Amino acid sequence: MTAPVRVVFRSASRAAPTFGEGLRVALYQGQGAVGSRQAVECNMERLVEVSALAAEYGCQVVVFPEKYTTGYAIDPGQCRELAEHREGPSVDRARLAAKENGLAVVLPYPERDGAEFYDSISVIAADGLVTANYRKTHLYGAAERRNYSFGQDLPPVVSLNGIAVSVLNCYECEFPPLYQYLAERGAQVVIGPTAADAHFRLADGTMSQVPYQDATRHIIPAMASIWRLFIAYANRRGWEQVSAGAWQYQGNSGIWAPDGEPLIAATAEDRHHDCLLIADCLPATVPPFSPEGHHPTDNRLTLNHTLKPAS
């Protein structure tokens, strides 16, 4: 282990959930290197270590923060240098870690596809096979739009340990229609790798006048309870220092149950350490949210499942 990892484990059972019963989820909240080939190598070494540690606790999926391979705060030149094909070396290394440890790996990375670049997430099953490659459809701010193209396909739903799982990428965790879409497709667990910070330097060089909102205070608990979903939000902690400025991440990772309550949530102390936050998502154990009402089935508003042109 290159550096210690603080493990926070919340489960009523030592044994992991059986197939179809639930999913033991591990969220890695760490401070990583940024913006170079050496950074990618260091971050992937850490992924191998953390995946093995998660397996020791019986985890069935381990999740890493947005653009984990390169760090979040990269400029267009670094993006073009470091972005990889969906079957590139970082995904291959994560596939090997998944297969060797017998758990799924959710790896966010900058993707290159010809002349296009995407803020992508590779979902790798426990057998080492890629079950989904999702390209972020809702980009945040000028910097992301400068680096990436918009994905054109809505998030997939895949099966991990017999549980229907989907992904949203950072800013997308704040869009209620995406949760409705996923709930209507049968998702039970939504995994959200993120890189939510506080104040930061904008693409035009000025400082942000308001901090990035903490979605775990309102949006995520509300979406979990209304759409009866487990929502696993995996953020960075600490700092990224680049030529454009310094990014300090909120370290607010956690897992919220379908009653809106946290199964596990990072504390202020956890923000000072690289952490592995572990909890079991068990759909059958969650009580009804309302005495009679059930939002997913009582909802009468249908969605148009098409993406409008990006603005």
pLDDT (tens, 9 = 90+) of the chain, 311 residues, equals 789 999 999 998 999 999 999 999 999 999 999 999 999 999 999 999 999 999 999 999 999 999 999 999 999 999 999 999 999 999 999 999 999 999 999 999 999 999 999 999 999 999 999 999 999 999 999 999 999 999 999 999 999 999 999 999 999 999 999 999 999 999 999 999 999 988 777 778 888 888 888 999 999 999 999 999 999 999 999 999 888 788 899 999 999 999 999 999 999 999 999 999 999 999 999 888 888 889 999 999 998 888 999 88
* CB neighbour class for 96 (10 Å; exposed up to 12, middle 13-18, buried from 19): middle
Write out the residue range of the structural domain in which residue 130 sits: 6-284
| Number of domains within the chain | 1
| Contact of 238 with 249, CB cutoff 8 Å | yes
**Amino acid present at 308:** K
Sheet holding 163-167, edge to edge: 157-160, 163-167, 189-193, 230-234, 254-256, 262-265
For the chain, how far is it from start to end, CA to CA, in angstroms?
A: 45
Residue 308 within any structural domain of the chain:
no
State residue 246's pLDDT score: 84
CATH classification at residue 105:
3.60.110.10
State residue 150's pLDDT score: 98
Helix, strand or coil, per DSSP, at residue 130: strand
> Which residue has tokens 């202020």?
268
Residue 302 within any structural domain of the chain:
no
pLDDT, one tens digit per residue, over 13-26 is 999 999 999 999 99
State residue 198's pLDDT score: 81
Residue 290 within any structural domain of the chain:
no
Distance in angstroms (rounded) separating the CA atoms of residues 146 and 125: 32
State residue 209's pLDDT score: 83
pLDDT, one tens digit per residue, over 57-70 is 999 999 999 999 99
Distance in angstroms (rounded) separating the CA atoms of residues 239 and 71: 10
pLDDT, one tens digit per residue, over 190-229 is 999 999 988 777 778 888 888 888 999 999 999 999 999 9
Residue 306 within any structural domain of the chain:
no
- Share of the chain residues as helix, strand and coil, in percent rounded to the nearest 5: 25, 30, 45
Residue 162 within any structural domain of the chain:
yes
Residue 269 within any structural domain of the chain:
yes
Distance in angstroms (rounded) separating the CA atoms of residues 233 and 248: 17
| Contact of 223 with 257, CB cutoff 8 Å | no
Residue 120 within any structural domain of the chain:
yes
Residue 29 within any structural domain of the chain:
yes
